[in-house]
Amino acid sequence: DAAQRTLEQDALLRTRRSVTTLRGIAPAVGTPVSDAPRRTVYDAQHRTRLPGKKVRAEGAEPTGDATVNRAYAGLGATYELFLKGFGRHSIDDSGLALDASVHYGQDYNNAFWDGQQMVFGDGDGDIFLDFTVSIDVIGHELTHGVTQYTANLEYHGQSGALNESMSDVFGSLIKQYSLDQTAQDADWLIGAGLLGPDVSGVALRSMKAPGTAYDDDELGKDPQPATMDDYVKTSQDNGGVHINSGIPNHAFYLLATELGGKAWERAGRIWYDTLTGGELASDADFKDFARLSVAAAVARYGDGGAEHQALQKAWSAVGLG
Hey, which residues are catalytic here?
Answer: 141, 242
The site map against ligand ASN for 142-161 (x = CB under 6 A) is: --x-----------------
d(CA 86, CA 265): 9
Helix, coil or strand: residue 8? helix
When the beta carbons of 95 and 160 are compared against Zn ion, the nearer one is 160
Minimum gap (Å) between residue 79 Cβ and ligand ASN: 18
Please tell me whether residue 141 binds ligand ASN under the rule CB under 6 A.
yes
The beta strands (E) that lie in 24-176 are given as 39-43, 53-57, 98-104, 111-113, 118-121
Tell me if 112 contacts ligand ASN by CB under 6 A.
yes
Give the list of residues 6+ apart from residue 156 with CB closer than 8 angstroms, or none: 238, 239, 241
Q: Does position 227 bind ligand ASN by CB under 6 A?
A: no
- Chain positions 162 to 191 lying near Zn ion, rule: CB under 5 A, are 167
Contact 69, 43 (CB under 8 A): no
Question: For ligand ASN, which is the closer residue by CB, 94 or 134?
Answer: 134
Does 111 contact ligand ASN by CB under 6 A?
yes
120 in Cβ contact with 128 (< 8 Å): no
Q: What gap in Å lies between CA 292 and CA 273, rounded to an integer?
A: 9
Q: Distance between CA 43 and CA 51 in Å, rounded?
A: 7
* Contact indicator for 146, 94 with CB cutoff of 8 Å: no
| Sequence-separated (6 or more) residues with CB below 8 Å from residue 145 | 91, 92, 96, 113, 118
Query: By beta-carbon distance, which residue lies closest to Zn ion?
Result: 167
Q: Which does 89 bind (CB under 5 to 8 A by kind): Zn ion, ligand ASN, none?
A: none
Closest CB to Zn ion among 167 and 206?
A: 167
Q: Which is nearer to ligand ASN, 147 or 257 (CB)?
A: 147
Per rule CB under 6 A, is residue 207 in the interface with ligand ASN? Answer: no
Picked from Zn ion, ligand ASN, none, the partner binding residue 111 (CB below 5 to 8 A depending on kind) is: ligand ASN
Write down the least CB distance from residue 167 to Zn ion, Å: 5
Binding residue for ligand ASN, selected from 110, 116, 181, 212, defined by CB under 6 A: 110
Question: SS3 of 201, please?
Answer: strand
Interface contacts to ligand ASN, rule CB under 6 A: 110-112, 140-141, 144, 164
Interface contacts to Zn ion, rule CB under 5 A: 167
